[in-house]
Amino acid sequence: MRQLFLWFSCIAILAGCSHGPAVDAVWSKTRLMTIPAGEQDAFLSDRASGLQTEGKFLPPDQQGEEFYVKWHGDKIDRVKFEYRQVKAPDKFFTQEYRPQSQRSHVFTVTGDTYRNGGSVSGWRASLWHGEQLVAEMKSSLW
């Protein structure tokens, strides 16, 4: 019984020691084709049935990059995704998202923005409570 009490006490202490809000991860994916280049070997031919499939380029307005941002923490009322692009290195672009109960969001750079500015060369994902920055994660080239 005493060991069980100690175990629950340790869990309670660890739960109370959380470090507050943080951006957990940012993953990116470039989407140019219906089947991405890295997945073509697995999806273009079915060896069992002999069926062949061809990957096709997406329409220009659907081509671009997706950035999946995952975070944790309370009282986050705004998530900002700021980025620069290869063809516009001196410009900064911003997208904002107002979460309800979600802890992740996909930001997209597509269409004319992607076509005219090129690939994203640097980014910053940040969490805000009101006007206060509470956490951020940056790419190495930010």
CA distance 110 to 62: 6
- Give the residue-averaged pLDDT of 108-128: 96
Percentage of the residues of the chain whose pLDDT score is greater than 90:
60
In CATH, what is the architecture of 22-33+60-138? Sandwich (2.60)
Question: Which segments of the chain are extended strands (E)?
Answer: 22-31, 64-72, 78-85, 88-97, 104-110, 120-129, 132-138
Residue 131 clears pLDDT 70, i.e. is over it:
yes
Q: How would residue 80 be classed by pLDDT, with cut points 50, 70 and 90?
A: very high
In the chain, domain spans: 22-33+60-138
